[in-house]
Structures are given as C-alpha cells and as structure tokens.
Amino acid sequence: MWFRILGTLEVVVDDVVVQLQGRHQPKLLATLLLEMGQVVPIHRLVDALWDDDPPGTARRQVQNGVAALRRLLAAHGDDPVESVGDGYRLTTDRLDARLFTDEMHAASSKAVTTRRLTPCCVERWSCGEGRRWRVYRGG
C-alpha cells in the first residue's frame, strides 16, 4: 500500500487506486498524512473538515470517519492509523512525498545539482511517477 500526496491524493495497492469514500475521508487521510508519525488531535481533524462552523456532532463524525477509513485500509491489507489518546496517528514509510524528499536529500548530500538525480529517482520519474514530481523541479 502506497500513499500519494504529490498531485492527486491516492491510496494505491498493487497498482490499483483504492477509492476513498465521501467528502470527509480524503480530508481525514490528507490531514493524517501531512502530519505522518505525529498524533493529530480530534479538534484539528474537526478543523480540517469544517472550517469555521462545525456541527455539534463533529467529534463523533470524525471518530466515525476515521473508523471507516481504517476499515477501508484494512480491507486492502493494512491499517496504519492508530488511536492515540484524544487523536490519531498514521505511521507508514510508504508515502511518495517522503520518498521524494529522501531521494532529493541523498542527491544533495552527494553535492549533486538538482539536474542530476539518483538513479532510483530518475527511474521513478521515467516510469510515470515523475509527472507527479515535475512541479518540484520546475519541469
């Protein structure tokens, strides 16, 4: 299972995009991915779903939404979302943004210009994922 946030938000399992449900599930997942490895309190998830005027049932809707997201991910082989205190934490190393950042740091630590990328990154760019990342190199 891979999570993609560079470009359109996607969950990919065996080269198939998992369909996120409703309007809240993508927002919940995106918020958790952006804070990957950190506990995201429920009140922050409420803020992500409803800007200024959350309904009285917002807390419960977040809990139900995260439970549905966890069921969806588990049905596809993984549930990286943990309940921690009064929030949730997503733990995974399968995030395109993290991989991209790691590869760019590896390239820059070798005193390589941004035009010369690691072979793994060049291969990834040439096989299609690059269209998601070109925006970060100005292409």
User: What ranges do the domains of the chain cover?
Assistant: 2-90, 96-137
pLDDT higher for 103 or 1? 1
At residue 135, does pLDDT exceed 80?
no
Per DSSP, what are the bridge partners of residue 16?
Answer: 13
What pLDDT does 127 receive? 53
C-alpha span between 80 and 1 (Å, rounded): 10
Instruction: Name the residue among 128, 137, 139, 106 with its Cα closest to residue 4.
Output: 128
Identify the CATH class of 2-90: mainly alpha
Q: Which two tokens stand for residue 5?
A: 């946030």
What pLDDT does 138 receive? 37
C-alpha span between 82 and 80 (Å, rounded): 6
What pLDDT does 7 receive? 85
Over the stretch 79-91, which tens digit does the pLDDT of each residue have? 999 999 999 999 9
Quick one: DSSP state of residue 19? P
Over the stretch 50-76, which tens digit does the pLDDT of each residue have? 988 999 999 999 999 999 999 999 999
What pLDDT does 52 receive? 85
Residue type, 78: D
The whole model's pTM is what?
A: 0.77
Are the C-beta atoms of residues 41 and 86 closer than 8 Å to each other?
Answer: yes
